[in-house]
Amino acid sequence: MGLRSLVGWEFRNLVRFPLLELLVVVVAYLSMLSSAGGGSLGLSAQSSWSIYPGAIARNIMFSFVSDVQYLYVPTILSVTVFASIGIAREVEAGFVKVALSYPIKRRDLFLVKFGSCFLTSLAIFGVALVSAMFLKNWTATLYILSFPSTILAVVGLIIYQTFYAASVATAVAIFSRNTAASFIGSIAILYMPVYMAQFARLDIPFIPPGSTELFSFYIKSASVFWRQYNLFTLVEATMVPILIALVLLFVSFFYFTRRYDLS
Amino acid sequence: MLTLDVIIETRDLVKKYGRVEALRGLNMEVSKGAFGLIGPNAAGKSTTLKILLGLVRASGGEARVFGLDVRRDSFAIRKRVGALHEKPSFPSWVKGLEYVEYLARLKGVRNPREAAFGELKSFGLGEACDRKIGTYSAGMVQRLGLAQAFVGDPELVFLDEPTANLDPLGRAEFLDMIKERCKSLGVSVVISTHILSELERVCNAVAIIFGGVALEVGSLSDLFEKYSESVYAVESSDDKRLMDGFVNLDSVERVWFEEGALMVKVKDQGRFERDGIGVAHGLGVGIRRFEPVWWSLEHVYKKVLEVKGVGT
């Protein structure tokens, strides 16, 4: 009963600003439509549809998959906001102290907080993705739907991106205990490697969003040309961020459940 | 070994925040009933309560509540206790009733809405329970905190500065309610406050904490017996002459003026009452007042600090 109440409370808290969710959905939606190549659904190719239907289908798939990387921006936006208001703000304001004065296990509170942050963001992208697919041009969507394995892979890619961002944001929120520091810190940590690498002219393809491009390449090449995946290459492309995410989750979980003083 | 009545026990409890030692070996036993924690700011009172609730991890020593170890059995302890933290803060976007109902659910209360409403009503928030917490005054937030601390019929309630932000009438009502609950429902409370007169009114035992150690722990009657001094207040027609007369008495330890009266600290009450009156008659000084001074908890507190040689 207690755990169910906790889950309901967390989700209710995170969706109490519908404008925020709407904003993220719109940003995600636009990300899916505004990329190079005339939009993620290959809409610019519509005029030449009848000439090379096979090539168009391939272009549609290419741009659709490529555009997933642009979701990294709204992912970071939503996940860092949710972690900041759901974790850091609650620790800072003393709400967590009140909750933990009741019979709740710290383990449960951590998992519920991380889970709600992760799943709420994922739900938003689900809405954005589906609306981007169907609202703009549903005929092009039919082409995409003819590649169900690619759809699954894109969903997997979004889960992977969100999981990575949620782990970083949760860890920063727990260690910072401050709403503003959590928000700014998470964005900095999630984006810093990319910009630092660009600045130093280094190539670090294993950190999102770079890694999502790599992942997209495998999806595109596998699903469009061969309609099958090479599991090993997918794991290879995503392994480093997933490892980083798991380490951060474990460290923040251990700290929260064993060492976290709520003074 | 815990006796049946002892519900809290700490042994050499230590808490360090970095280099700062909040607790330096706190030893105390708390029996059922109303218990007070007294001490200056940063004495370690709130830290002690947080350790007992499992919110803060002790650096050393041990603490038990209901005989359960606060580290290993924190979950089981929290099923049986309630707490009001110092300067409580609650989510402003939620209605009072919804929040207390949610907390009651966490506690596994069978009828959470009913229980929440009952507590809010008993703390004077019955009509405001459907308002968002953000619209509450500071006093109402404090009452909400008290309501959530008592929801689910806890056996023991920790109250950190419970009367802060309450108006004088609200304080009196709250203290009466605590006494009533202790008496009729058998709820035990541990109150940490700076307002010693409140503790004196409600508690039957206290711990005086200073610098992270308990200087004294015991029932109020024992502490009064141990630390009260026999002081008499005397008002006369010529206090100056009477003072000179009292100074030479064997039964008198010290004489001084305070708030318009002659204060006489005596070694032997019986002898002083006999000799003192005799001296006044001998000097021809008329006595208007001659009575022992009633000691308050504040006097005892100051005396304990003085005897233990720590700051006042």
Q: Which residues of A touch B85 (CB under 8 A)?
A: 94, 97-98, 101
Nearest to B300 by CA among B234, B232, B219, B233: B219
- Spans of all domains in chain A: 3-259
ω into B154 cis (within 30 of 0): no
Q: How far is B89 from chain A (nearest CA, A)?
A: 6
Q: Which residues of B touch A (CB under 8 A)?
A: 17, 46-47, 50, 53-57, 75-76, 78-79, 81-83, 85, 87-91, 93, 102-103, 105-108, 148
φ, ψ of residue B49 to 5 degrees: the values are -60, -40
Q: Which DSSP helix (H) or strand (E) runs through B206?
A: strand B205-210
Q: Which residues of A touch B105 (CB under 8 A)?
A: 1-2, 5
Nearest to A177 by CA among A96, A75, A120: A96
Q: Which residues of B touch A19 (CB under 8 A)?
A: none
Beta strand B205-210 pairing with B287-292: unpaired
Q: Which pLDDT score, from 0 to 100, does residue B92 have?
A: 92
Q: Which of A94, A102, A263 sits opposite B103 (nearest CB)?
A: A102
Cα B246 to Cα A253: distance, rounded to the nearest angstrom: 71
| Cβ <8 Å between A95 and B17 | no
Does residue B291 surpass a pLDDT of 90? no
Nearest CA in chain A to B79: A103
The pLDDT tens digits for A202-232 are 777 677 777 777 676 666 666 555 555 566 7
Strands lying side by side in the sheet with B287-292? B252-258, B261-266, B231-236, B287-292
Give B10 or A54, the one with higher predicted confidence: B10
Written in H, E and C, the secondary structure of A15-78 is CCCHHHHHHHHHHHHHHHHCCCCCCCCCHHHHHHCCCCHHHHHHHHHHHHHHHHHHHHHHHHHH
Pair of tokens at residue B149: 């601390």
Nearest to B57 by CA among B8, B9, B7, B22: B22
Q: Which residues of A touch B (CB under 8 A)?
A: 1-2, 5-6, 9, 13, 16, 93-95, 97-105, 258-259, 261-263
Q: Which pLDDT score, from 0 to 100, does residue A125 have?
A: 79
* Assembly ipTM: 0.84
Looking at the DSSP bridge assignments, the partners of residue B95 are B132
| Cβ <8 Å between B105 and A263 | no
| Cβ <8 Å between A98 and B88 | yes
Residues across chain A = 263
| Cβ <8 Å between A103 and B78 | yes
| Cβ <8 Å between A261 and B82 | no
Cα A162 to Cα B208: distance, rounded to the nearest angstrom: 52
SS3 of residue B265 by DSSP: strand
Cα A163 to Cα B222: distance, rounded to the nearest angstrom: 61
The pLDDT tens digits for A39-82 are 444 444 444 444 455 666 666 666 666 666 677 778 888 899 99
Q: Which pLDDT score, from 0 to 100, does residue B94 have?
A: 93
Q: How many CB pairs under 8 A join A and B?
A: 73
Nearest CA in chain A to B84: A98
If you average pLDDT over residues A5-23, what whole number do you get? 80
Sequence letter at residue B277: I
Q: Name the least confident of A132-146, A222-236, B208-222, B272-286.
A: A222-236
Q: Which residues of B touch A13 (CB under 8 A)?
A: 91
Band of the pLDDT at B270, cuts 50, 70, 90? confident
Q: How far is B126 from chain A (nearest CA, A)?
A: 22
Distance (Å) of CA B249 to CA A82, B173, B265, B267: 77, 48, 11, 10
pTM, two decimals, is 0.84
Q: Which residues of A touch B91 (CB under 8 A)?
A: 13, 93, 95
DSSP for B15-68? EEETTEEEEEEEEEEEESSEEEEE--TTSSHHHHHHHHHTSS--SEEEEEETTE
Q: Is B46 left (phi over 0), alpha (psi -120 to 50) or beta?
A: alpha
